[in-house]
Amino acid sequence: MAPLDFESFYNVIDGKLEATAETRHGINPATLEQLPPVPVSTRNDVNRAVEAAQRAAAAWAATPIEERKQKVIQYADAVDALANEFGKMMTLEQGKPLSHAIGEAHGAAYFLKGFAKMDLPDRVVEDTEHRRVVTRYVPIGVCVGIVPWNLTFKMGPALVAGCTIILKPSPFTPYCGLKMIELAQQFFPPGVVQVLSGEDSLGPMLTEHPDVAKISFTGSTGTGIRVLQSSAPSLKRITLELGGNDPAIICSDIDIPKVAARVAMKSFVNSGQVCISIKRLYVHSSIYEEFMAELSKATKSLVVGNGMNESTDLGPIQNAMQYERLKDFVASIKRDKLTIAVGDLENTFSTGNGYFMSPLLIDNPPEDSRAVVEEPFGPILPVLKWDTEEDVIHRANHSADGLGASVWSRDMAQAERMAGQLQAGLVWINTHQELQVDAVFGGHKHSGIGSELGIEGLKAYCLTQSVIHDKDGA
Ligand code: NAD
């Protein structure tokens, strides 16, 4: 593997590293220091990348799937070998603790390899004396992945399926994405996997482009709707992975200290900036006080700080826009006069350098308060009481979102009965915020359209084609 430097960052178009006339730069959210310049792509860059992707598409689709998978595995090994470097870059640009970031880089390799284990066999529907009918999966062609993180969820299946893909990382966190695709050039032919960085205005240039056949988007529900609208005139295939407001339901028979500690992490890890964090917590009223005491203890023990410090549990909020949004969220908590179990509304934001925020636990707020209804995407957790299964299921489902949901109980019959009624794409029992490469992940309701991961996530980069052969017909 040729060495990679983590100091200069380029677009990758048609196998070549390219700088742009205009540049921008990210900010380290823990120090507010500028990170290195990154490209600001133009419409001309978009057009050239799409043309290169089209040129590369036929040969890549014709490459045997076993060969494509081999290349994905070799690439995954290279990502894994550089996990420490990617992890450091991730902490600098995103803020999360270094150990979590290194784990995520290893995770990227795991997800790539997981897709490389999947197959797309033809399905023989009929094979009789006079007829043979087969359904096949053929690659869609030129795809675009718009991602805030985990671009492997899009890149892995696209490459295995035989598509070419252009990735657009978030303007706030472009660095690891640009380097990942630079590294990919050592394994894939020019034009097969490319990357463009830029401002938010780059997104529409890609979603409008008539020669892009598919968009896979991860981000907020509002932007997802714009992506859908902009893709409609050219009838693009679409996958949308959008926001969530995940409920977790705690039943009365659990081990209170153990579950409270786990729930604190599954709510506040990455400072709540995870689509599948616990965002509404329903605790059975018979254990509410005791559970709240343990959850408060676990929450208070979380250390907020620079992700480069070993003791840090929660890094900063990723960017200024989200930090301001959270300030507005906290102002509405004050206006609504909600009871705070942990945290101090006057001092929850740091006054020094860095977008730091201490976690807030809200004690039994009204079900219709903003803190319960809206995804904060920050370390704010409302805790609510419940008495009957019917009532808590109704409240958990009473949301426009349907990304993830969990039930925590030692009574398996109760857990499965309740889990079976939850309206979400991922339902966990006695855990939350876990993804597995071979288990499909896709939001219900306003949390998305289509799915990623699992064989369905691979088929999302394919068109179906049935071949009906009349053996006597000619
Ligand atoms: P965002 O919607 O602000 O931005 C996402 C991406 O869209 C960015 O790359 C941005 O540049 C781009 N973009 C902006 N305007 C565009 C347009 N008009 N057309 C095309 N692209 C455009 O989201 P974010 O702040 O990066 O992420 C936070 C949100 O993402 C949260 O709601 C979170 O729950 C959700 N999320 C969902 C998943 C999931 O898998 N379901 C995963 C992570 C995050």
**How many whole angstroms from 385 Cα to the centroid of ligand 1?**
32
Q: Which of 241, 294, 375, 452 is catalytic?
A: 241
**Closest ligand 1 atom to 403 CA:** 41
Cα–Cα distance for residue pair 467/248, rounded to 1 Å? 46
Cα–Cα distance for residue pair 376/367, rounded to 1 Å? 15
**How many whole angstroms from 174 Cα to the centroid of ligand 1?**
13
**How many whole angstroms from 111 Cα to the centroid of ligand 1?**
20
**How many whole angstroms from 427 Cα to the centroid of ligand 1?**
23
Return the H-helix or E-strand segment holding 17. strand 16-18
457-468: b (≥16 Cβ within 10 Å) or e: bbbbbbeeeeee
Q: To the nearest 10°, the Cα dihedral for 400, 406, 408, 414?
A: 80
Cα–Cα distance for residue pair 451/441, rounded to 1 Å? 5
Nearest to 350 by CA among 291, 305, 319: 305
Q: Can you tell me which residue has the tokens 């799409």?
A: 50
Contact call for residues 153 and 435 (beta carbons, < 8 A): no
Cα–Cα distance for residue pair 362/340, rounded to 1 Å? 5
241 is catalytic: yes
**How many whole angstroms from 133 Cα to the centroid of ligand 1?**
41
Cα–Cα distance for residue pair 69/140, rounded to 1 Å? 17
Nearest to 378 by CA among 366, 370, 389, 367: 370
User: Coil, helix or strand for 326?
Assistant: helix
Contact call for residues 271 and 316 (beta carbons, < 8 A): yes
Q: Which residue has the least CA distance to atom 27 on ligand 1?
A: 219
Distances (CA, A) of 318 to 98, 125, 254: 14, 50, 34
Strand duo 237-241 + 448-449: pairing: antiparallel
> What are the tens digits of pLDDT across the range 413-449?
999 999 999 999 999 999 999 999 999 999 999 999 9
Distances (CA, A) of 87 to 92, 93, 137, 273, 342: 9, 10, 36, 17, 31
Contact call for residues 424 and 405 (beta carbons, < 8 A): yes
pLDDT for the residue 234: 96
Cα–Cα distance for residue pair 181/179, rounded to 1 Å? 5
Token pair listed for 27 = 């900010």
Residue 143 bridge partners (DSSP): 165, 214
| Residue whose CB lies within 8 A of the most ligand 1 atoms, among 153, 223, 239, 325, for a mutation test | 223
**How many whole angstroms from 213 Cα to the centroid of ligand 1?**
20
Residue ranges around ligand 1 (CB below 6 Å): 146, 148, 168, 170-171, 200, 203-204, 207, 218-220, 223, 226-227, 241-244, 275, 375, 377, 403, 443, 448
Contact call for residues 84 and 102 (beta carbons, < 8 A): yes
**Closest ligand 1 atom to 146 CA:** 9
User: Which numeric CATH code is attached to 246-437?
Assistant: 3.40.309.10
Residues recorded for the chain = 474
Q: Can you tell me which residue has the tokens 């809206």?
A: 374
Cα–Cα distance for residue pair 263/298, rounded to 1 Å? 9
Residue 11 bridge partners (DSSP): 18
Mean pLDDT for back-to-back runs of 10 residues, the chain (474 residues): 91 98 98 98 98 98 98 98 98 98 98 98 97 98 93 97 98 98 98 97 97 97 97 97 98 98 98 98 98 98 97 98 97 97 95 93 98 97 98 98 98 98 98 98 98 98 98 97
Contact call for residues 12 and 38 (beta carbons, < 8 A): no
pLDDT for the residue 2: 80
User: Coil, helix or strand for 355?
Assistant: coil
pTM here is 0.97
Could you give the strand order of the β-sheet that contains 123-127, starting from the edge strand earlier in sequence? 123-127, 131-139, 462-470
Cα–Cα distance for residue pair 279/382, rounded to 1 Å? 7
Cα–Cα distance for residue pair 448/309, rounded to 1 Å? 36
Domain ranges (residues) in the chain: 11-242+447-466, 246-437
Nearest to 197 by CA among 214, 180, 215: 180
The CATH fold of domain 11-242+447-466 = Aldehyde Dehydrogenase; Chain A, domain 1 (3.40.605)
Contact call for residues 375 and 443 (beta carbons, < 8 A): no
Backbone angles phi, psi at 431, to 5 degrees: -160, 180
| DSSP tag of 33 | P
